[in-house]
Chains A and B, each alone.
Chain A
């Protein structure tokens, strides 16, 4: 596709349910990042991938959060047993280079609301 695609764009769920967020990066981009943005707040780093491996998972808030990337392309972020504090916009970004000096292209985000 022309840009980073995220789905769903909006997700409302009940506390305790599991959710899965999907990111489809720009074709050929080797690096993929997940960030969380709460209302009016900054960009909180969650995890990033170089290819299929995740060099840094330190940003994942708890063991309820996990992410994977297969085939060096699509990534899924899974939140188990959702809590109200998980409500936020989850942004995915990809970069065309495997070094740390490339532009990040962001998706539109997935807005998660936990009731």
Chain B
């Protein structure tokens, strides 16, 4: 089955700086890679996703890149703001449709 590894586990950035979270996956058949944001005490919510036929996708201050050959994908947040503080999860879906999540990254944006 799919195995997703996520790094770093915690990330502290100054407001206005960029944050990068990296994930690797094991199943070469995986073809969908979403990112979820979970604020304290709340449910995870989708913030951006990318499919295997695309190398990069951007939505305002967030972007995701995918390298299928190396089996890794990354989340980039630019001009970070305090409201970006949360836990971020990457995920990959295997050929059976199961969403396998990474362990999460706690992002703290300090003013």
Contacts and interface: CB of A to CB of B under 8 A. Distances in A.
Nearest to B98: A56
Interface stretch (B14-22, B38-46, B58-66, B75-83): B38-46
B70 to A, nearest CB: 21
15 contacts: A41-B103, A42-B104, A45-B98, A45-B100, A48-B98, A48-B99, A56-B96, A100-B31, A100-B99, A101-B32, A103-B34, A103-B46, A104-B46, A108-B42, A109-B43
A91 interface: yes
Contacts of A42: 89, 101-104
Contacts of B94: 100
Nearest to A92: B43
A58 interface: yes
Interface in B70-111: 89, 93-104
Interface string A63-106: 00000000000000000000000000001000000011101101
B98 A91 contact: no
Nearest to B49: A103
Interface of B: 1, 31-32, 34, 36, 42-46, 49, 51, 89, 93-104
Given A91-B44, A100-B31, A100-B97, 9 more contacts: A41-B103, A41-B104, A42-B101, A42-B104, A43-B44, A101-B93, A104-B34, A104-B36, A106-B43
A80 B71 CA distance: 39
Given A101-B51, A103-B49, A91 B96 contact: no
Contacts of B34: 103-104
Contacts of A56: 96, 98
Contacts of B1: 58
Contacts of A103: 34, 46, 49
Interface string A13-39: 000000000000000000101010000
A91 B101 CA distance: 13
A106 B36 CA distance: 10
B51 A33 contact: no
A100 B34 CA distance: 11
